[in-house]
């Protein structure tokens, strides 16, 4: 059966929590370095390195010596009320924020070419110098925007991370982004780069510099993954906000937890943002009163979807209606009980539920991942304001797959997972979306950060699955059609997976750091509870 339309979530023994909090000067709703509301226009430059030893030659989307075939692919330069964004990144943030945050850009109308043998550093300042040499007193972009007139200066520089950004010019252009066709001094891969959350004082015509700056290699000018990831750092936080895949920073788990998020990495199942991201940035649907919002199926009225254990349902029912997450923002979060009983230093944990219906026109999960409920667990990372707003470890979300959890066995030579019914482990097993930790390589009895097993395929009960079930070739990590919870599926204490807290083990950012004792914030007990069985139906 295929899930369609709104989905009812039925809970037994769940109760509602009225969330509170006090706004302070440092607040995640202000954005980490750039604002997360209003209209931001980026000054975009396309560039290339001549005589680069990594020269890729002809690329379908971008020929040497020319602008990309579609220089407006990443961003719209303007949006009128009611317009639907066409630029992939403009569309991404427009949909994520329900139109509250417009990320626009316009590009310099000529490609900038820098000779490899004359480059200083990575060539960024030379790009700016070349533009100033090619132009007169002002710089006019392809669609008529003016640097000197302040078309790229809508906000004032923040005084710190998470502090308000005033909607007024300050003679610092809000952001410059240089996208290179080739530049081996940045990376020799087909894409890579950085966004810098720091003021860059470098006079550019009448401007004093830039509030943020960035540079990327994007050989075909058609891969938005790295741009989405790095730009999202400016909104969410530093490396310790990596989740939905591996990434630099001190990790919450020994394994790398996949899934999806604005700051997901290469080993993700999807590009789409999650409800944690929206809550952190304050992106709420205009019809919703609550940041975490659901509907009463009997009346259609909004009810808060942030739940905890042993409190009454204010709407008198244990049923909640979740509409499509991407378009409405509906989601549910349930605090997992007893985690802090041994110590209040242990990070709290919550299970999140989102209904992804993959509606036409929405940026959502990939083709192989079906419609249905997607679930993941949040560990810590709860502070939205005041002290600790930008603290905590990375890899703080752990995806739950409807496939269930197993004590998988591995075949290193064949790069293969073996999964069968006898290996079921609903409490502490791995699922297909986890890059699992094993004692690999030298077999020295220790598991280091870089000893993670990346499976190219898996056998289930001795059989290979059809390749059409996978999001990318036969790699289970990149998402499968088995990940979503469909009508009749259940999560509960007697189900696989179970709605229980995760074991955590803080892992150093050093790739070969010797494992030590668990941190005081780590949970080392699987607490059984009466949460569940909950399931969904049409």
DSSP 77-139: S---TTPPP-SHHHHHHHHHTTTSEEEEEEE-SS-EEEEGGG--TTSHHHHHHHHHHHSSSS-
- Nearest to 378, CA basis, from 343, 345, 341, 348: 348
Check whether 95 has a pLDDT greater than 60.
yes
Residue 205 lies in a domain: yes
Is the Cβ–Cβ distance between 464 and 271 less than 8 Å? no
HEC letters along 116-133: HHHCCCCCHHHHHHHHHH
Neighbours of 190 (CB within 10 A): 14
Residue 59 lies in a domain: yes
- Nearest to 332, CA basis, from 317, 312, 313, 354: 354
Same-domain status, 53 and 135: yes
Same-domain status, 82 and 48: yes
Residue 319 lies in a domain: yes
Residues 113-140 have pLDDT tens digits of 999 999 999 999 999 999 999 999 999 9
Lowest mean per-residue pLDDT among 113-127, 169-183, 221-235, 442-456:
442-456
Query: Average pLDDT for residues 147-160, to the nearest whole number?
Result: 93
Lowest mean per-residue pLDDT among 20-34, 160-174, 272-286, 341-355:
20-34
Final residue of a structural domain among 236, 265, 299: 236
Number of structural domains in the chain: 2
Point out which residues pair with 434 in neighbouring strands: 257
Lowest mean per-residue pLDDT among 116-120, 186-190, 246-250, 528-532:
528-532
What percent of the chain has a predicted confidence (pLDDT) above 70? 94
Signed CA dihedral, 254, 258, 264, 268: sign only = positive
Q: What is the pLDDT of residue 7?
A: 55
Residue 200 lies in a domain: yes
Of the two residues 124 and 7, the one the predictor is more confident about is 124
Same-domain status, 199 and 279: no
- Nearest to 454, CA basis, from 500, 426, 400, 415: 415
CA separation, residue 452 to residues 254, 420, 496, 514 (Å)? 9, 21, 24, 15
Residues 305-322 have pLDDT tens digits of 999 887 778 887 888 999
- Give per-residue burial for 79-113: e unless 16+ CB within 10 Å, then b: beeeeebebbbbbbbbbbbbbbbbbbbbbbebbbe
Q: What is the pLDDT of residue 537?
A: 47
Q: What is the pLDDT of residue 450?
A: 87
Same-domain status, 8 and 37: no
Same-domain status, 122 and 189: yes
Residue 442 lies in a domain: no
Q: What is the pLDDT of residue 9?
A: 47
Range of the structural domain that residue 264 is part of? 1-23+237-404+483-538
Same-domain status, 209 and 299: no
Residue 337 lies in a domain: yes
Query: Average pLDDT for residues 31-52, to the nearest whole number?
Result: 97
Final residue of a structural domain among 211, 236, 261: 236
Q: What is the pTM of this model?
A: 0.93
**Dihedral angle at the C-alpha atoms of 155, 157, 160, 165, nearest 10 degrees?**
-20
Beta-sheet pairing, 256-257 with 409-411: unpaired
Residue 194 lies in a domain: yes
Same-domain status, 217 and 243: no
Q: What is the pLDDT of residue 6?
A: 59
Is the Cβ–Cβ distance between 481 and 368 less than 8 Å? yes
- Please return the burial class of 440, using the count of CB atoms within 10 Å of its CB with bins 0-12, 13-18 and 19+: middle
Mean per-residue pLDDT of the chain: 92
Q: What is the pLDDT of residue 18?
A: 26
Query: Residue 47 has which token pair?
Result: 């560039």
Residue 433 lies in a domain: no
Same-domain status, 56 and 190: yes
Same-domain status, 38 and 152: yes
Check whether 180 has a pLDDT greater than 90.
yes
Query: Average pLDDT for residues 426-450, to the nearest whole number?
Result: 91
Same-domain status, 270 and 329: yes
Same-domain status, 386 and 498: yes
Check whether 457 has a pLDDT greater than 90.
yes
Lowest mean per-residue pLDDT among 213-217, 291-295, 415-419, 437-441:
437-441
Final residue of a structural domain among 219, 236, 253: 236
Same-domain status, 73 and 152: yes
Residue carrying the six token digits 């530049």:
183
Residues 381-411 have pLDDT tens digits of 999 999 899 999 999 999 999 999 999 999 9
Per-residue pLDDT band at 11 (split at 50, 70, 90) = very low
Query: Average pLDDT for residues 239-246, to the nearest whole number?
Result: 94
Q: What is the pLDDT of residue 5?
A: 56
């Amino acid at each position: 059966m295929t899930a369609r339309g709104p989905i009812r979530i039925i809970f037994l023994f769940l109760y509602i929590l009225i969330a509170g909090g006090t706004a302070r000067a440092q607040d995640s709703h202000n954005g980490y370095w750039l604002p997360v509301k209003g209209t931001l226009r980026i000054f975009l430059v396309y560039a290339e390195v001549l005589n680069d030893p990594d020269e890729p030659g002809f690329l379908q989307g971008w020929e040497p010596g020319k602008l990309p075939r579609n220089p407006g692919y990443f961003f719209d330069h303007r949006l009128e009320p009611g317009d639907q964004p066409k630029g992939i990144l403009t569309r991404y943030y427009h949909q994520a924020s329900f139109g509250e945050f417009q990320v626009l850009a316009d590009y310099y109308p000529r490609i900038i070419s820098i000779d490899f043998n004359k480059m200083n550093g990575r060539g960024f300042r030379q790009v700016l110098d070349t533009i100033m040499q090619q132009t007169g007193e002002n710089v006019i972009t392809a669609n008529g925007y003016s640097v000197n007139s302040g078309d790229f200066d809508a906000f004032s520089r923040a005084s710190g991370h998470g502090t308000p950004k005033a909607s007024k010019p300050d003679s610092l252009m809000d952001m410059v982004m240089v996208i290179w066709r080739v530049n081996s001094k940045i990376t020799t891969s087909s894409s890579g780069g950085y966004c810098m959350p720091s003021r860059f004082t470098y006079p550019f015509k009448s401007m004093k510099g830039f509030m943020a700056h960035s540079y990327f290699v994007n050989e075909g000018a058609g891969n938005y993954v790295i741009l989405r990831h790095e730009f999202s750092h400016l909104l969410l936080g530093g490396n310790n906000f990596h989740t939905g895949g591996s990434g630099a920073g001190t990790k919450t788990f020994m394994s790398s937890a996949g899934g999806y998020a604005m700051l997901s990495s290469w080993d993700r199942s999807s590009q789409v943002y999650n409800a944690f991201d929206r809550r952190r940035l304050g992106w709420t649907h205009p019809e919703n009163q609550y940041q975490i919002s659901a509907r009463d199926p009997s009346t259609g009225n909004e009810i808060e979807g942030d739940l905890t254990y042993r409190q009454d349902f204010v709407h008198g029912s244990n049923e909640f209606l979740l509409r499509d997450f991407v378009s409405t923002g509906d989601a549910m979060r349930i605090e997992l009980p007893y985690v802090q009983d041994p110590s209040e230093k242990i990070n709290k944990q919550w299970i999140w539920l989102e209904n992804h219906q993959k509606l036409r026109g929405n940026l959502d999960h990939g083709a192989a991942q079906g419609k249905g409920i997607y679930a993941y667990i949040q560990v810590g990372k709860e502070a939205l304001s005041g002290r600790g707003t930008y603290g905590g470890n990375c890899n703080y979300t752990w995806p739950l797959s409807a496939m269930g959890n197993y004590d998988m066995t591995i075949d290193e030579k064949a790069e293969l997972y073996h999964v069968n019914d006898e290996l079921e482990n609903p409490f502490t097993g791995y699922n297909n979306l986890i890059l699992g930790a094993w004692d690999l390589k030298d077999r020295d009895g220790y598991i280091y950060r870089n000893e993670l097993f990346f499976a190219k395929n898996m056998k289930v009960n001795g059989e290979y699955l059809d390749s059409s079930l996978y999001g990318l070739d036969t790699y289970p990590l990149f998402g499968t059609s088995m990940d979503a919870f469909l009508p009749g599926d259940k999560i509960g204490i007697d189900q696989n997976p179970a709605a229980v807290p995760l074991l955590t083990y803080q892992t150093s950012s050093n790739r070969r750091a010797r494992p030590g004792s668990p941190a005081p914030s780590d949970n080392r007990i699987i607490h059984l509870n009466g949460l569940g069985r909950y399931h969904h139906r049409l």
